[in-house]
């Protein structure tokens, strides 16, 4: 049964009592890559600039959520660094929510030359998508010959003192032969190397069983390549990822098993798409329009909070949707439009 969506002490919770403390903010749907699992359609139509939220509109939501228990903000896209004025926006986010854990999710291609600036603005950590360590395979997966830029961006982030998490979508027959190289990257660099199970998201998804490389197989194979020790939940807040240290290594290895081992019971996330829609669940296309409210001079903060609470009250258990729709795609909207 759905309950009141506001928890004690002003914190936000959904209808199942899950406290929401994490907001993923997509600042654009534009991206300079065409990753095979994310945006495979060549004639993709980007959202009109006039329909994308302004930075000030994003800031209004972040300021509103901060006193209600939001402790984490992830800035994503599309490719967030492709949006003009992003550095200034990041600075404003830091001022709007001091003490909040703010991180950037990026494909890394535009990071070279920017890591020190991002760190100087207060950014502490960055998540970088990298699905292959082989330049030719990277080109095959992403449609762009930009591997060297991503690799340089990772090194510059580490040099700037940023905490780095490298995320690879696990694709059988595509990058599974590179597991040893990924393990070596984590062994020789102070970063988290995480594999994300490929999930059937988007109406034009290329997902099929033959591409599915489950977390259990990844861990079994990696365990033959290195001595792994689990990082127990509670040692630190690392979200849905399960992490392992590598004996004698500088970094760690992890898996995010969204398909084989869902984490819906502990989900604490809310998503804000770049066109101003609240999306309570990744797997559901049910969204709540905020843009018209944000652009009306008559809209009060209370009205915006009312929509936020209504959205949370109807937040589903996503794994049930995943089980029902796995074969045809769990939702119609692609990740680039939802926010990665």
Q: List, for residues 133-142, the tens digit of each pLDDT value.
A: 999 999 999 9
pLDDT value of residue 263? 73
Q: Are strands 242-246 and 228-231 parallel, antiparallel or unpaired?
A: antiparallel
Confidence (pLDDT) at 322: 66
Number of domains in the chain: 1
Work out the burial of residue 136: count CB atoms within 10 Å of its CB; fewer than 13 is exposed, 13-18 middle, 19 or more buried.
Answer: exposed
Confirm whether 2 is domain-assigned. no
The domain in which residue 270 lies consists of 8-169+195-206+265-338
In a domain, 53, yes or no: yes
Residue position matching structure tokens 């102070």: 190
The pLDDT score that the predictor gives to residue 46 is 83
Residue 325: inside a domain: yes
Torsion of CA 240, 246, 252, 255, to 10 degrees: -30
Q: Looking at the DSSP assignment, which residues form a beta bridge with residue 39?
A: none
In a domain, 64, yes or no: yes
* Joined tokens for residue 322: 């995943």
Residue whose structure tokens are 């988290």: 192
If you write DSSP's letter for every residue of 221-247 in order, what string do you get? HHHHHS-EEEE-TTSS--TT-EEEEET
Domain contains 55: yes
* Ranges of the chain whose pLDDT falls below 50: 1-8, 235-237
Q: What CATH number is attached to the domain comprising 45?
A: 3.20.20.70
pLDDT in tens, 102-116: 999 999 999 999 999
Residue 81 lies in a domain: yes
CB atoms within 10 A of CB 289: 13
Pick from 30, 44, 139: nearest CA to 82:
30
What pLDDT is recorded for position 50?
A: 93
Whether 178 is covered by a domain: the verdict is no
Q: What Cα–Cα distance (Å) separates residue 110 from each residue in 92, 106, 203, 209?
A: 21, 8, 28, 33
Alpha-carbon distance of 74 to 113, in angstroms, equals: 21
> What pLDDT shows up at residue 282?
86
The answer to whether position 239 is within a domain reads no
């Amino acid at each position: 049964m759905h309950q009141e969506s506001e928890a004690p002490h002003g914190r936000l919770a959904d209808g199942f009592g899950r406290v929401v403390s994490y907001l993923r903010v997509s600042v654009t749907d534009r991206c300079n890559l065409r990753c095979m699992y994310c945006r495979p359609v060549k004639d993709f139509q980007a959202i009109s600039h006039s329909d994308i939220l302004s930075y000030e509109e994003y800031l209004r939501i972040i300021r509103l959520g901060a006193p209600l228990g939001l402790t984490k903000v992830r800035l994503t896209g599309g490719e967030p660094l492709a949006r003009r004025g992003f550095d200034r926006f990041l600075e404003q986010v830091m001022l709007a929510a001091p003490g909040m854990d703010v991180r950037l999710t990026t494909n890394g291609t535009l990071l070279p030359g920017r890591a020190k600036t991002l760190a100087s603005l207060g950014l502490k950590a960055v998540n970088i998508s990298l699905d292959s360590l082989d330049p030719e395979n990277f080109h095959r997966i992403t449609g762009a010959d930009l591997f060297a830029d991503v690799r340089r961006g990772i090194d510059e982030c580490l040099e700037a003192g940023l905490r780095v998490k490298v995320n690879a979508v696990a694709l059988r027959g595509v990058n599974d032969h590179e597991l040893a190289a990924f393990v070596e990257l984590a062994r020789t660099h102070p970063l988290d190397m995480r594999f994300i199970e490929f999930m059937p998201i988007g109406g034009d998804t290329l997902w099929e069983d033959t591409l599915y490389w489950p977390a259990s197989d990844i861990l079994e194979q990696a365990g033959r390549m290195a001595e792994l020790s689990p990082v127990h939940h509670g040692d630190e807040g690392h979200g849905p990822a399960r992490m392992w240290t590598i004996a004698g290594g500088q970094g760690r290895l992890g898996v995010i098993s969204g398909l084989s081992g869902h984490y819906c019971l502990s989900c604490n996330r809310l998503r804000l798409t770049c066109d101003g829609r609240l999306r309570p669940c990744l797997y559901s296309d049910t969204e709540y329009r905020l843009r018209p409210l944000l652009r009306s001079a008559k809209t009060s903060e209370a009205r915006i909070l009312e929509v936020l609470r209504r959205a949370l009250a109807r937040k589903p258990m996503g794994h049930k949707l995943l089980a029902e729709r796995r074969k045809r795609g769990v939702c119609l909207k692609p990740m680039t439009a939802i926010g990665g």
